[in-house]
Structure 1
Amino acid sequence: MLEEITPLILTYNEDPNINRTLQCLAWAKKIIVIDSYSTDETLKILYSYPQIEVFQKKFDSFASQCNYGLGKISSEWVLSLDSDYVLTDELIHEINALQAETDTNSYSVRFKYCVFGKPLRRTLLPPRTVLYKREKAIYKDDGHAHRVWVKGNSATLTAYIHHDDRKPLSRWLWAQDRYMVIEAKKLLETPESELSLGDRIRRQKIFAPLIILFYCLIIKGGILDGWHGWYYAFQRVLAEILLSIRLIEAEKFKT
């Protein structure tokens, strides 16, 4: 199966992460990277891998970048990865054992979030569709994130991807603030009846950070991961506080 797959990766200033992602893709004949004009060492790292083809496109949205990347791929199957995703050996073996000719058009994978390289027991990251037939797929934006919509049957693989982001805190804060501006816009413009319970709580601004702290440490068992679990919980609380501030700001400017 591996020979039928082209990995697709988006990058922007990912030199703290991208090598770990690429080292797990030595099996790929071709890797397509859509770069949003990185200014760090990302391009130098990318060009050191002979199977990589880099296309640069000014960033407008994640879905737009991904759909542009799909147009550069000719293989039947696509493996869509963020530049801080690390494939486990178990997942590579599981993918290789799949049949290329199948009625299943997409596969979802579960994640283990890493803090300074250590995988946590459980995290807030939901499974994501990462492996799919190119001709059946299209990306759409969903708040600050994006989703791939794939026609036909889907399945979930048993092995994990490690989400191992080692960018500095300043970059994480910059990215989270950008995300929360978009997320606040989505929450305020979506009728409350169409929001999930979680999003309705987030729109109330006050309770979400406290609930996230309890959820990460107790429900998800982060307290058992030691200081790595506390670090992750503090990250998620800070992200929710940023969202609350952006919601307040958007409401005040609106009035």
Structure 2
Amino acid sequence: MNTTEKQKLSVLIITFNEERYIKSLLEDVDFADEIIVVDSYSTDSTIKIVQSFPNVTLIEKKFVDYTSQRNFAIDQAKNDWILFIDADERLTPELKTEIISTIHNKDAVSAYLVYRIFMFKNSKLRFSGWQTDKIFRLFNKTYCRYTEDRMVHEKLIVNGKIGILKNKIIHFSYTSYQEYKLKMYKYGILKANEKVKKGQKPVRILLIFHPLYTFLYQYLIRLGFLDGINGIIICYLNAYSIYIRYKEFFRLTSSKI
């Protein structure tokens, strides 16, 4: 991937009812050569806010699952270098500088993982499994595509070398108990449908064992107890999502719990 040409960056964002975050994010990524928002027909002020930015392209597309929405967004980008960012994520000035220098580096690799700082309301969650959280956010679309066998917690398939950026993204994922619980519920439903799509068979014992294991692993092994009450809440809600996954999986396969 050696090149001396000036590289341009496309920022991609998928949204649904993100009026709380989208204005700050669009201001945050104004250094990009192209910004595309793929919205799933938001019912709040998201669309109005996006349209107030003349340098942002808005595309509306019905949501099916996260993977298809992300791959669709990639196909709309004019540039090879993609920064895929969620509405509740923020870039530090140091990370912006690193991104720009990285894509202009003649030895740049195909994709870069970025570590994330998980924010529980206004405080940093230090443990509970999030201390090593990293995700693909910067990549060259020529060599990358999201695998279609996942509907949520998307997996990027990378053809080539993988790097890791030094600076971290700030992830404002948790703003309230009910909002995060709803998010975990939706993830659980999508993961259940993913299992059905793959033709998997339900195993009754996993309905109890897997959520319990998830809570104990994150709370004890991944040191969630060091996050105090916040750790209990996050570990419980992550286990709750696993429970919803299997409950819905049994319902979809017409099995009695």
Asked whether the two chains share a fold, i.e. TM above 0.5, the reply is yes
Answering whether residue 181 of structure 2 is matched by residue 177 of structure 1, we say no
Deviations 1:78-118 (A, max 9, x none): 10112212223332232233252335111111222211132
Q: For residue 58 of structure 1, give the secondary structure of its aligned residue in structure 2.
A: coil
**1:116 has 2:115 as partner:** no
The equivalent residue for 2:35 is: 31
Of 218, 221, 239 in structure 1, the residue corresponding to residue 220 of structure 2 is 218
1:118, 1:15 → 2: CA distance?
A: 21
Provide closer, same or farther for how the CA distance between residues 2 and 111 of structure 1 changes in structure 2, counting only shifts above 3 A.
Answer: farther
Q: Which amino acid aligns with 2:142?
A: E
In structure 2, how many angstroms separate the alpha carbons of the residues matched to 1:119 and 1:45?
28
**Deviation digits for residues 122-178 of structure 1 (CA, Å, limit 9, x no counterpart):** 354542211111222222231433222232111111222122125655554444333
The normalised TM-score by structure 2 is 0.82
Aligned to 2:16: 12
Is the contact between residue 127 and residue 223 of structure 2 (CA under 8 Å) also seen in structure 1?
A: yes
Contact 1:121 1:221 in 2 (8 A): no
- CA offsets 1:219-249 (integer angstroms, 9 cap, x no match): 2222222332222122212212222322332
RMSD value, Cα: 3.0
The offset of 1:251, in angstroms, is 4.3
**Contact 2:8-2:33 at 8 Å conserved across structures:** no
1:140 aligns with 2:142: no
Instruction: Report the counterpart of residue 136 of structure 2 in structure 1.
Output: 129
Cα 1:39–1:95 change in 2 (3 A) is same
User: Which piece of structure 1 moves more, 6-15 or 176-185?
Assistant: 176-185
**Residue identity matched to 1:238:** Y
1:196 aligned partner: none
- Deviates further, 169-178 or 212-221: 169-178
Does the CA contact (< 8 Å) of 2:65 and 2:190 recur in 1? no
Other structure's SS at 1:159 match: coil
Q: CA deviation at 1:252?
A: 3.7
Q: 1:244 aligns with which of 246, 249, 252?
A: 246
In structure 2, do the counterparts of structure 1 residues 85 and 52 end up closer, same or farther at CA, with 3 Å as the change threshold? same
1:75-86 matches, cutoff 5 A: 75-86=79-90
Unaligned runs of 5+ in 1: 193-199
Shift in alpha-carbon separation, 1:82–1:208, aligned structure 2, 3 A: same
Which residue identity lines up with residue 184 of structure 2 in the other structure?
A: Q
**1:143-222 mapped onto 2 (5 Å cutoff):** 143-166=151-174, 169-187=177-195, 189=198, 204-222=206-224
- 2-structure distance, mates of 1:201, 1:92: 46
Q: CA deviation at 1:7?
A: 0.7
- Runs (5+) with no aligned partner, structure 2: none
- For residues 67 and 120 of structure 1, the distance between their equivalents in structure 2, rounded to whole angstroms, comes to 30
Cα pair 1:34 1:54 within 8 Å, conserved: yes
Residue 60 of structure 2 is matched in structure 1 by 56
Whichever residue aligns with residue 172 of structure 2, its letter is: D
The one-letter code sitting in structure 2 at the alignment partner of 1:214 is L
Write out per-residue CA displacement over residues 30-64 of structure 1, whole angstroms, 9 at most, x where no aligned residue: 21110111110111221233321111111122222
SS at match of 1:231: helix
Aligned residue in 2 for 1:90: 94
TM-score of the superposition, structure 1-length normalised? 0.82
Counterpart contact for 2:128–2:231, Cα < 8 Å: no
